[in-house]
Amino acid sequence: MAAPEDSSVDAIAPWRAMLIAHSRAVRAIEAHMTAEGVIALTWYDVLLELHGADGPLQMRELGNRVVLSRTRVSRLVQELEAHGLVKRTPNSGDGRSTLASITAAGTEELKKAAPVYLAGIEQHFTDHLTPSQREAVTTGLGRVADAHGR
Amino acid sequence: MAAPEDSSVDAIAPWRAMLIAHSRAVRAIEAHMTAEGVIALTWYDVLLELHGADGPLQMRELGNRVVLSRTRVSRLVQELEAHGLVKRTPNSGDGRSTLASITAAGTEELKKAAPVYLAGIEQHFTDHLTPSQREAVTTGLGRVADAHGR
DNA sequence: GAAGATTGACTTTTCAATCTTG
DNA sequence: CAAGATTGAAAAGTCAATCTTC
């Protein structure tokens, strides 16, 4: 427990807060989504990126946008394709890469899940923050994220 | 789906920022610790709680303090015990429960890891936040964590 | 030979059943 | 039968090859 009241506590406090808040909020939101019978969080994230992109996305690029490793994306997209929510097509410009795009069924599922996901985020996360805290979290943690480039 | 620039974006922005910052910072800190040859993050967290507690801790209580499930704690403590860093003893007061406490070797490892961990947090996380952002993250995300009781 | 992607073997984590004591 | 803890089976995720194309 880091010797009480020394300066390092100040560096640890925001970190611990994030660790715990993240873990609990993610759990709560996932449970919420499962209970409402919509797709899981990981699926949602992938579909959201594919939907937001203006066209098919290379696997590598998709991996960069979502918080997942390249291998994981590969597996996830396979799974999503098996469920008909995503389509994979060879890249005519570069034979090495694969392009992924969302299908109509995928968009359907995404639309069904979106309000549940949004409500979950608000209820389990954002609602507990004051407007100035939202701002600070967004810009501060945004800076942390950017610092790790990618 | 969250058409750009509507009010729901404000709810999502801090959430996305946390998701990405968390993922990248955890990865960076773990890599840092591995590179320096000290124990892993999960081990560290468990040892830290046991060290901070004023006496042996019930598995259930330990699970509550660390961000891990009860099953996970069970496995982790077994592993730590096998490495001699933690000791498990039956609870004389309640035959159902097990008590865990840190050993001298565990304290040793904890002390070796602490400066590396602290440096990692500062370098990969806290240093990117302004003082007021640290404060906002700590209290804001602290409120999120508390809201999910446990 | 390097980049993009996938696969197989492995580790980590969870879920549901189980065992034991209250 | 409820609470605490553990275990076995399964799922999720990662790492090191591998394959193909540039």
Query: pLDDT for B33-64, tens place per residue?
Result: 999 999 999 999 999 999 999 999 999 999 99
Q: Which residues of chain A have pLDDT under 50?
A: 1-8
Lowest mean pLDDT across A86-95, B2-11, B112-121: B2-11
Mean pLDDT of chain B: 92
pLDDT beyond 70 at B1: no
Confidence at residue B11, expressed as pLDDT on a 0 to 100 scale: 85
SS3 A118: helix
Q: Give B66 to chain A, closest Cα distance, Å.
A: 8
Whether residues B133 and A132 touch (CB distance < 8 A) is answered with no
Confidence at residue A4, expressed as pLDDT on a 0 to 100 scale: 45
Whether residues B21 and A139 touch (CB distance < 8 A) is answered with no
Lowest mean pLDDT across B3-17, B77-91, B132-146: B3-17
Give the distance, in angstroms, between residue B73 CA and nucleotide C18 C1'.
Answer: 18
Beta-carbon-side half-sphere exposure of residue A150 (alpha carbons within 13 Å): 23
Tell me how far apart the alpha carbons of residues B39 and B53 are, in angstroms, rounded to a whole number: 20
- Confidence bin at B78 (pLDDT 50/70/90): very high
Task: Tell me the percentage of chain B whose pLDDT exceeds 70.
Answer: 93
pTM of the model: 0.90
Q: Which residue is nearest to nucleotide C21 (CA to C1')?
A: B96
Q: Given strand A86-90, what is the order of strands in its sheet?
A: A57-58, A98-102, A86-90
Q: Give B92 to chain A, closest Cα distance, Å.
A: 27
C-alpha closest to that of A14 among B132, B49, B117, B51: B132
pLDDT beyond 80 at B17: yes
Please report, for residues A1, A54, B83, B89, B98, the alpha-carbon distance to residue B73 in angstroms, rounded to integers and kept in the order given. 18, 44, 15, 15, 12
Residue with tokens 């660390």: B66
Count other C-beta atoms under 10 Å from residue B47's C-beta: 25
Helical ranges in chain A per DSSP H: 8-35, 41-52, 59-65, 70-82, 104-124, 131-147
C-alpha closest to that of B61 among B27, B28, B31, B98: B98
CB A25 within 8 A of CB B144: yes
Query: pLDDT for A63-88, tens place per residue?
Result: 999 988 999 999 999 999 999 999 99
Residues with CB under 7 A from strand D: A 40, 42, 68-69, 71-72, 75-76, 94-96; B 58-61, 63, 70-71, 73-75, 77-78, 88, 91, 94, 96-99
Regarding beta strands A98-102 and A57-58, do their DSSP bridges make them parallel or antiparallel, or are they unpaired?
Answer: antiparallel
